[in-house]
Amino acid sequence: MAKQKDGFVEHITPQAEDFSRWYTDVIKMTDMVDYSEVKGAMVIKAYGYGIWELMQREMDDRFKATGHKNAYFPLLIPRHLLEKEAEHVEGFAPEVAWVTKGGGEELAEPLAIRPTSETIFCSMYAKWVQSYRDLPVLLNQWCNVLRWEKSTRPFLRTSEFLWQEGHTVHATQQEAEEETRRMLGVYVDFAENVLAIPVVSGRKSEKEKFAGALHTYTMEALMLDGKALQMGTSHNLGQNFAKGFDIQFLDRDNQLKYVWQTSWGTSTRMIGGLIMVHGDERGLKLPPKVAPTQCVIVPVAAHKPGVTEMAEELFISIREAGVRVELDDRDQSPGWKFNDWEMKGVPVRIEIGPRDIEAGVCMTFRRDTLEKAGKPIMGIAATVRDMLDDIQKNMLETARAFRNEHTFAATTWDEFMDRIENGRGFVKAMWCGDAQCEAEIKEQTGVTTRCMPFEQQNLSAVCVHCGKPAKQMMYFARAY
């Protein structure tokens, strides 16, 4: 187990030395995941899955509050369904895994293991939607998907991963657009107020949009190494799938019309973002709202009279206050336990020993600021709740300050290149909207368009790369 040297966990690679290795060290040493026998597929262990469960709960409550209901659709999708929307199948073709045998016999038609579920949803919507009275349909699915990735990294990009995918059907284009924007807003609220991750939201370029969509909207977060991570997307599918699957309804004017659709999704990739936005040289740093353990109590000199009993009293009072709390009575030294819980990112630690009991206080430790302070034992449950609220707010403010300090504006190509190479973060610049220009920027710099923010700024009249008249401001960054 980890030993401390100069306040740091010795065997976690420093971020400045190798950020990628730091990330791998953290997820392994905190017991979040393990590598499976299947290349590119991870085993999410109890601690990592505990984070996902809390994220699920928070998101699911938000989905239901906006009128959505959960359903479940098949894992296997017949090939003819995938082929009904040409742009969609072309976009996903390289990542699709196929089942060609069942029970030892060749299948009459290959079955795709779902890379996403638009087509299987649409096959059912074509049966279910007949009249304007059937609309809107607001469904969400919690499931796993499989995409045959060549290069994988736990949480960030794996062949199989967990996610939610919303699929909705509407009578008008306006309703579909409102739904697409509304659900992106739900994601933004979740990212900032639950994960304590500030995001930039806006529309993707035509090249970067979801295959088969009319428009794709995204929320983008900035990691501590200066790279962007797409945290969630919401797609206005227009009528592309409706026409491919013949999803029509009889409207109030007695006219037969095609529906308008949306889809939107987030995944376990957000856990990777959580690690890379908040983590430090000691390991994880978890926002209280998604920390499986929000507070841990560590007895000091537990063999002495009254220490264990007081630790148990503290545990009961804090648990009854609705805090996810653990009492660490393992047969290890207090220092070993401190390191272990700091590495796992637990927001609050309480230390209690004979001298503390005599003084009527306990020692508290905040994982976000690394501050220790003596607090009265009387009323400690309320103190812990207040600390958790403050930690949640402070982590968002800290992440937002980092994001703002690493967001730069560029009006010339030289300035753009300097910001990309030396600034380590988002670069805002004007862009012509041309796909060829976008491809050239990526080829020359390794930078991609992240999103056209809803709140536009007019930084200059011309595109930062090609000098043609600018159409919008775009966020650029190197990305995961």
Q: How do residues 374-397 score in pLDDT, each as one tens digit?
A: 999 999 999 999 999 999 999 999
Decide if pLDDT at 5 tops 70.
no
Q: Are 469 and 463 in contact (CB under 8 A)?
A: yes
pLDDT confidence bin for 1, thresholds 50/70/90? very low
Distance CA 427, CA 408 (A): 5
Distance CA 79, CA 62 (A): 34
Q: Which pLDDT belongs to residue 10? A: 56
CB-CB neighbours of 438 under 10 Å? 22
Decide if pLDDT at 432 tops 80.
yes
Which tens digits make up the pLDDT trace of 398-430?
Answer: 999 999 999 999 999 999 999 999 988 999 999
pLDDT confidence bin for 99, thresholds 50/70/90? very high
Distance CA 329, CA 302 (A): 8
H or E stretch covering 166? strand 160-170
List of residues 6+ apart from 262 with CB closer than 8 A: 166, 167, 168, 170, 176, 179, 180, 183, 234, 235, 236, 237
184 three-class SS: helix
Domains identified in the chain and CATH numbers: 2-278 (3.30.930.10), 293-390 (3.40.50.800), 407-477 (3.30.110.30)
Q: What is the mean pLDDT of residues 438-466?
A: 97
In terms of DSSP bridges, do strands 248-250 and 228-238 run parallel, antiparallel, or are they unpaired? unpaired
CA atoms within 13 A on the CB side of 132: 11
Q: In degrees rounded to 5, what are phi and psi of residue 368?
A: -70, -40
Tokens at residue 311, please? 């630790």
Q: What is the mean pLDDT of residues 440-463?
A: 97
Beta strands in 210-305 (DSSP E): 215-222, 228-238, 248-250, 256-258, 260-267, 295-299
H or E stretch covering 343? helix 334-343
Distance CA 175, CA 169 (A): 9
Q: Which pLDDT belongs to residue 167? A: 98
Q: What is the mean pLDDT of residues 357-383?
A: 97
Which tens digits make up the pLDDT trace of 219-262?
Answer: 999 999 999 999 999 999 999 999 999 999 999 999 999 999 99
**Residue 160: what residue type?**
E
Q: Which pLDDT belongs to residue 150? A: 84
Which tens digits make up the pLDDT trace of 130-147?
Answer: 999 999 999 999 999 999
pLDDT confidence bin for 313, thresholds 50/70/90? very high
**Residue 206: what residue type?**
E
Q: Which pLDDT belongs to residue 159? A: 94
Decide if pLDDT at 7 tops 60.
no
Q: Which pLDDT belongs to residue 93? A: 83
Decide if pLDDT at 71 tops 80.
yes
Tokens at residue 71, please? 């359903």
Tokens at residue 458, please? 């007019």
- The rounded mean pLDDT for the chain is 95
Decide if pLDDT at 88 tops 80.
no
Give percent of the chain above pLDDT 90.
92
Q: Which pLDDT belongs to residue 3? A: 43
Q: What is the mean pLDDT of residues 364-373?
A: 98
**Phi-psi group of 30: left, alpha or beta (phi > 0 → left; psi -120 to 50 → alpha; rest → beta):** alpha
Distance CA 108, CA 466 (A): 52
Q: Which pLDDT belongs to residue 319? A: 98
Please classify residue 87 by burial: count the beta carbons closer than 10 Å to its beta carbon, then call 0-12 exposed, 13-18 middle and 19+ buried.
middle
Q: Are 278 and 286 in contact (CB under 8 A)?
A: yes
Q: Are 363 and 350 in contact (CB under 8 A)?
A: yes
Q: Which pLDDT belongs to residue 151? A: 85
471 three-class SS: coil
Distance CA 43, CA 32 (A): 9
Q: Are 337 and 301 in contact (CB under 8 A)?
A: no
CB-CB neighbours of 43 under 10 Å? 14
pLDDT confidence bin for 2, thresholds 50/70/90? very low
What's the predicted TM-score (pTM) here?
0.94
Distance CA 186, CA 413 (A): 36
Q: What is the mean pLDDT of residues 186-204?
A: 98
Decide if pLDDT at 6 tops 70.
no
Decide if pLDDT at 310 tops 90.
yes
Taking alpha carbons only, the member of 430, 437, 434 closest to residue 461 is 430
Length of the chain: 480
